[in-house]
Amino acid sequence: MAKPKLALIPAAQGTKLYSVLPSDGVGDFTFARGSVATRINAQGLIENVASGQSRLDYPLIDGVQKGCPHHILEPARTNLIPYSEDFSNAAWGKQEITISQNVAISPDGTLNADKIIPSIVSTTHQIYDLGLVVSQTCATSIFAKADGVNTFEILDGSSASNGVAFDLSNGTFTNKGSGIGSMEYYGNGWYRCISVAATTGFRIYCPSSAGTVSGDGTSGVYIWGAMLEAGSYPTSYIPTSGTAVTRSAETATGAGNASTFNDSEGVLMAEISRQDGSVSTTSWSINNGAIANSVNVYYYGTNTLYFDIFSGVATVSGNINIDTSNSNKIALKYKSGDISLYVNGFELITKTNAISLSGLNDLDFNFGAGNQPFYGNTKQLQYFDSAIADTQLEQLTSWQSFTDMAEGQLYTIE
């Protein structure tokens, strides 16, 4: 098997993001993020990562950390909830619900989760953010764990017609109105419950918004980490403690130099995914600082993988339908008259067009001129300075075992 000229090395948290092989320093990306952000650490707990440090995020399967970590790159997002962990604060309105503070271990491993307890009065029971004013599609989420009450709903701030009803006993949900739901299991009974909907605020009904019910005064639901962000999909948790907080966008650019890349031939390989539900263009490329001479691979629209090779002779393009939220192994071979795209062990596109590239000197998580930055998760990245054999490309993009494939795709083996 040929050795890569450039490869992702999942090193310790906070170290340089990538290194060239052999290590000479020129392969390191310039990474930037101007704020604190969170990740899931090797123990499966949410923790903060300092401004300017890249994030290694560890996958959870059935609430247990398994498999290799991936690097996160995310766009700027703002958590509009001013008190994401303190539900006793006056910013949260309450209707026939009491709050017990700091009574359970939260997904960050500390005793800081609150409990909402419906009263014995036969009515609707809810908490809601009093000062929140939005009017757009948002991703609303909260971490929740049953303690005697198994159900609750995240609904629109005013009409309460759009949102999702969640069942914490079996990890299921029901969409309501324009709401699109999902649940992510974090272990120890905790779910991140997510509603994407046209909304004007944040409102939680416990146990439901349907009719009038009464609690027993002691049973309820543990909650922690409320978040409301403008956008069509949820991103990593942003904690707040008195005001809205913005996580800055992340960039990774400038790996390699002119001696790293071969203008005549090569292979760009990545094991990569983007955020579920994203429809924006998100790219990675070899280039010379411009699009005119570049080798681009990117996700475009809903579940479509594209490549473009822009050269002095012609532009060569191809695309296939693919689940872009999965961690796919993708390799693009470029050589004049010999171009192919391999995905998950299969050669899916071949081209015989002539190409003529010049001046390749950069590997960036964008489209070659700083636009269409990549946002998602990267498990590995490799660059070969020759058009390696088809058998090697098949091996490079294949899974080593069924277990390897299942964990790579975050599947549950039953």
> What are the pLDDT digits (tens) for 315-326?
999 999 999 988
Count of Cβ atoms closer than 10 Å to residue 138 Cβ: 26
> What are the pLDDT digits (tens) for 141-159?
999 999 999 999 999 887 7
> What are the pLDDT digits (tens) for 186-197?
999 999 999 999
Q: Tokens standing for 14?
A: 């906070």
For residue 382, pLDDT over 70 is answered with yes
User: pTM (2 decimals)?
Assistant: 0.92
Q: Tokens standing for 285?
A: 């490329």
Strands (E), 322-366: 328-335, 339-343, 346-351, 362-364
Average the pLDDT over 339-361 and give the result: 97
Burial 220-237 (b: 16+ CB within 10 A, else e): bbbbbbbbbbebebbbbb
For residue 414, pLDDT over 90 is answered with no
Burial 292-301 (b: 16+ CB within 10 A, else e): bbbbbbbbbe
Cβ pair 73, 39 in contact under 8 A: no
For residue 307, pLDDT over 70 is answered with yes
Question: What DSSP state is assigned to residue 337?
Answer: T
For residue 220, pLDDT over 80 is answered with yes
In sequence order, the 6+-apart residues with CB closer than 8 A to the CB of 46 are 38, 39, 40, 107, 108, 225, 237
Cβ pair 202, 81 in contact under 8 A: yes
Banded model confidence at residue 110, pLDDT cuts 50, 70, 90: very high
Strands (E), 15-123: 18-20, 30-32, 37-40, 46-49, 55-57, 60-61, 64-65, 70-73, 77-79, 92-95, 97-105, 111-118
> What are the pLDDT digits (tens) for 5-64?
787 755 544 444 544 444 455 568 888 999 999 999 999 999 999 999 989 899 998 888
CA distances for 269 relative to 11, 186, 192, 345, 387, angstroms:
19, 31, 32, 12, 12
Q: What are phi and psi of 92, to 5 degrees?
A: -95, 120
Q: How long a stretch of residues is the chain?
A: 414
Give the residue with greater pLDDT, 413 vs 366. 366
Banded model confidence at residue 401, pLDDT cuts 50, 70, 90: low
